[in-house]
Amino acid sequence: MSDLAHAHLNTSLPVEARVDHLLHAMTLQEKCHQLVSVAPWALVNPDGSEPEALAETLKSSPGHVSNFGIDDPAELVRLVGLMQRRVIEGTRLGIPLLIHAEALNGFLAGQHMVFPTGIGLAATWSPELVEAMADIIRQQMRRAGFRQALAPVMDVALDPRWGRVHETYGEDPYLSAAMSVAYTRGLQSKNLRDGIIATAKHFLAYGLAESGVNLSGAETGARRLRDVFAFPFEAAIQDAGLASVMNGYADVDRVPVAASREILTDLLRGTLGFDGFVSSDYMTIEQMVDRQRVATTPAEAGRLAITAGLDTEFPTPFGYGDTLVSEVEHGNVAVELVDTAVRRILTAKFRVGLFENPYPAERIDVAEVAEEGRGLSQELARRSVVLAKNDGLLPLDSDRLRIAVVGPHADAVGLQFPTYTYPAFREMMTAMSSGALGNMVGADPGMARWNESLLPAVGAADYVRSTLHARALFEEVSRFASSTVCAAGSTLTDDLDSDEFDQAVNAAAEADVVVLALGGASLWFNGERTEGEGSDSADIALPAAQVRLADAVAATGTPMVVVMVQGRAYTLPDSVLGADALLISTYGGPFGPKAVADVIFGAVNPSGKLPYSIPRHTGQIPVYHHKVAGSGHRNPLPPGVEHLYLDMDASPLLPFGYGLSFTDFTLTSVQSEKSMDTHGSVQIHALATNTGRRSGVVTPQIYLRANTSGVSRPAQQLAGFARVELAPGESKQITFEIHAEQLAYTNLAREFVIEPSDVDWFIGLDSDDKAIAGAFRVEGAPRPLTSAERKFFSDVTVR
């Protein structure tokens, strides 16, 4: 091969030149296969030997390897090294593989730490810890030879019927953006050469699935798409250099996103300034044929996708690969479209350092891997617990009490690990291997067959106990209480027999305090579940079996602490709402139950804040704090009308941002600025004081409302927050510097602008708490704004 053919290996050349040299040297087949991934078993057998069809696979020089995970980190590293070496040494140009994995709240691989799920991370309101978590994931993935993470989930989730809410950062674009930017920065590092490619998903409005049913279309307008649902993606693009975006499965305005040039090119690249590559969600192109019916053949679907701007096809070729080669050769697809997509993939591979450092670590310390992130996972779990009610029962005195821990979450350690964690993935693989489960979207049954010899026969609960040292809530309560008893009383969705039900109720009746552990579970199409991908709900009420148990336990009259373990909002019965204390916990991973027990007994003062509103009734959906002015529960009551609904209050039961503490706080006003121009900023001050008798964390939140514009604006928008630790009697001043760019919006002429406006603001401890309030004026001429000029977040100082 000539020196020119190797010019792309010259590290003294800029990336653009290296890409040009390599692209020029590639055949059409090599180009089209750089856009697709292959399954790991196409490159290596579980024992490390070569598959029969390896030579055929290597002819086309595949670009990517699809997601997989196995129990043993050392074996994972060995197999990844074999895959990479076979492609580099066995293909004409030796272009290294870009191997990806899920990493929503931990690297999806055996024995690696699991952190709280996305909604739990959001409940911490701690983006700095999310960045630290992502940095740990970065180190682990690079060590194992992976360079792309299919995370984070940036969907703004407004409908709790949708089973994937727990993967998201909740209902608010600002909070979601803060977490998304933090995750992206931690994962990609300051220099992507040392990082992992973050893949923001699912672009766009995937969380707006009609009727809460997964994969359903999003019925919304272009203005809302730009200003609300694109906001977290745009922030990550501009503030963190986001390197990849994954399309959503859904239609937007009746066009599948993967076939929409308007979404993937005009909006994503033209408006938001994205310059990375677009990854396909698994089987996206196939779904255009068999589900959305916008194409009749793989070739037609592939043609739509490449024209729209979809740069890859995962997990295996359907409309790209050889099909795309034929389309170009027959003149149906311009080779320039393929070149553009390949250029983006090669650029990413050079930027992430694959050509210089393609292989995993030579060895891996399994014991060290198992310990990485333990302290951080525990701290995140603690910060995620929300105290929703406390009539003085908490914290409990552990010395003198007989405690009954009752309910389906009392002794169910495995339920702390939802979809997109390795334990849940492992359980799905085991079920598929045994034939007990069909195929989920994007999960090839071949994966289960390949993994079968790599997954020891260990049940889910035993696996998380032995590898992650997870313990159930009953066990964690027993650390504090001298006398405890445990009884389930019901499963998540079904009654147990009368003897088991009576055992739980009797245990509650004989105890001094009962901890009633209720809630949901997220699994991949197998087992008892209330949430998860493809596990949506028409009614978000707590399952009837749990309601019957709660009613019976409440009727005993024993003081009751209810723990709701959930990844989305549930409407709650009177027996739960009447409890002496109510804690809301998410799927917290190995330390979720420990964090709850620490709060119950006062070892931790709770500081979690709800990342979503909790409705009173399913019929209110969607209910979220940033409704446009005059809409939903933000609609002022007409004269003589007492309620927006005839049968109940239209407001949420618990508002976004809500969460109590074991101490008390006050917020008082400090003189703030009254005006800024459309290029400026305004400083708003508040004084937070701990008026209670123990140290705690207060999270002041500032909300804005622009009052004059040509279109309906949100009745309020979150514009900043701060977690502030205060000792008893201590005060600190919080200053929010609000930038004019935070008030930019798509106006009546569909221009993205900052306009003169009267703006109301309030600061409170949740989205309905107007502890202090004021107003300022934005003055000057209207100012058109590009994405690159945006300031997405307020600057916050605490002193």
- Pair (332, 204) in one structural domain: yes
| Contact of 690 with 666, CB cutoff 8 Å | no
Token pair of 234 as six digits: 């745009």
Structure tokens that stand for 422 in this block = 């390795």
127 and 226 in a common domain? yes
Q: What is the CATH number of the domain that holds 132?
A: 3.20.20.300
User: Are 352 and 428 within one domain?
Assistant: no
pTM given for the model = 0.96
Are residues 550 and 560 in contact, defined by beta-carbon separation less than 8 angstroms? no
Euclidean distance between CA atoms 217 and 161, whole angstroms: 15
Identify the bridge partners of residue 386 per DSSP, sorted by sequence position: 584
What is the C-alpha separation between 688 and 670, in angstroms, rounded?
10
Burial (CB count <10 Å: 0-12, 13-18, 19+), residue 189: middle
Residue pointed to by tokens 């980190």: 73
Q: Quickly list H helices, 373-480.
A: 374-384, 422-433, 445-451, 460-468, 473-478
| Cross-strand bridge partners of residue 563 | 517, 583
Structure-block tokens of residue 281:
């969600």
Do 431 and 349 fall within a single domain? no
Q: Give per-residue pLDDT as tens, 293-336.
A: 999 999 999 999 999 999 999 999 999 999 999 999 999 999 99
Assess if residue 650 is contained within a domain.
no
**Tokens 């790599």 correspond to what residue?**
454
433: which 2 tokens? 């291997």
Residue written as token pair 């000057």 = 780
Structure-token pair, residue 467: 């590898």
CB atoms within 10 A of CB 671: 9
Based on the domain organization, do 354 and 403 belong to the same domain?
no
Instruction: Give the tens place of pLDDT for each residue, 158-189.
Output: 999 999 999 999 999 999 999 999 999 999 99
Q: How far is 332 from 277, CA to CA, in rounded Å?
A: 23
Residues 262 and 142 in one domain: yes
Q: How many CB atoms lie within 10 A of CB 786?
A: 11
Q: Which residues share a beta bridge with 560?
A: 514
- Nearest CA-CA partner of 703 in 719, 715, 721: 719
How far is it, in rounded angstroms, from Cα 126 to Cα 123? 8
Mark 311-334 as b/e (b = at least 16 C-beta within 10 Å).
bbbbbbbbbbbebbbebbeeeebe
| pLDDT of the residue at 4 | 57
In-domain check, residue 409: yes
Contacts of 299 (CB under 8 A, 6+ apart): 319, 323, 326, 327, 332
Q: Which amino acid is at 613?
A: S
CB-CB contact of 724 with 734 (8 Å): yes
Q: Same structural domain for residues 403 and 349? A: no
Helix pair angle (173-188, 231-240), 10° resolution: 30
If 0-12 CB within 10 Å is exposed, 13-18 middle and 19+ buried, where does residue 51 land? middle
Asked which of 600, 621, 648 is the last residue of a domain, the reply is: 600
| Distance from C-alpha of 259 to C-alpha of 376, rounded to nearest angstrom | 41
Strand residues in 476-527 grouped as ranges (E): 483-487, 513-519
Radius of gyration of the chain (CA): 27
Do 360 and 398 reside in the same domain of the chain? no
Q: Are 81 and 359 in contact (CB under 8 A)?
A: yes
Q: Are the CB atoms for 566 and 415 separated by under 8 Å? A: no
Tell me which of 600, 629, 646 is where a domain ends: 600
Spatial contact of 511 and 505, defined as CB atoms under 8 Å apart: no
Residue 628 lies in a domain: no
Q: Give the strand order in the sheet containing 757-764.
A: 675-677, 772-779, 757-764, 701-706, 717-721
Residue 609 within any structural domain of the chain:
no
Determine how many CB atoms are found less than 10 A away from the CB of residue 73: 23
243 and 311 housed in the same domain: yes
Q: Are residues 298 and 270 in the same domain?
A: yes
Residue 775 resides in a domain = yes
- Position 200, amino acid: A
Q: Which residues, at least 6 apart from 191, have a Cβ–Cβ distance to it below 8 Å? A: none
Among 552, 583, 600, residue at a domain's last position: 600
Q: What is the CATH number of the domain that holds 450?
A: 3.40.50.1700
* All residues at 6 or more sequence positions from 708 whose CB lies less than 8 Å from its CB, including other chains: 755, 756, 757, 758
Calculate the alpha carbon distances from 242 to 8, 201, 623 in Å.
24, 11, 30
**517 three-class SS:** strand
Cis, bond preceding 73 (omega within 30 deg of 0):
no
Other Cβ atoms closer than 10 A to 106: 27
Q: What Å distances lie between residue 149 and 138, 202, 374, 752, CA to CA?
A: 9, 13, 21, 32
CATH of the domain at 786: 2.60.40.10
Count of domains forming the chain: 3
Q: What is the spatial distance between Cα 700 and Cα 725, in angstroms, rounded to a whole number? A: 11
- How far, in Å, are 221, 535, 545 from residue 492 at the CA level? 38, 14, 7
Reduced to 3 states (helix: H, G, I; strand: E, B; else coil), residue 242 is coil
Give Cβ neighbours of residue 751 (< 8 Å, ≥ 6 apart): 784
Closest CA to 300 of 330, 331, 323: 323
Residue 639 within a domain: no
| Selection from 216, 385, 393, 348 nearest residue 291 by Cα | 216
Tokens coding 532: 């998860």
Helix (H), strand (E) counts: the chain: 24, 29
Residue 640 lies in a domain: no
> Which residues of the chain have a pLDDT value below 70?
1-5, 433-449, 451, 453
| 791: amino acid identity, one letter | K
Say whether the peptide bond before residue 330 is cis (omega within 30 degrees of 0).
Answer: no
Phi, psi of 690 (to 5 degrees): -85, 110
Indicate whether 415 belongs to any domain. Answer: yes
**How high is the pLDDT of residue 445?**
61
- What's residue 728's pLDDT? 98
Query: Residues 383, 129: contact at Cβ < 8 Å?
Result: yes
What's the DSSP call for residue 728? Answer: T
Residue type at position 152: P
Residue range of the domain that includes 771:
665-798
Q: How far apart are CA 175 and CA 703, in angstroms?
A: 12
- The answer on 671 and 589 residing in a single domain is no
The DSSP-derived string for 104-164 is BTB-SSTTS-----HHHHHHHT-HHHHHHHHHHHHHHHHHHT--EE---B------TTSTT
Write down the pLDDT at residue 435.
62
Asked whether residue 349 falls in the same domain as residue 413, the answer is no
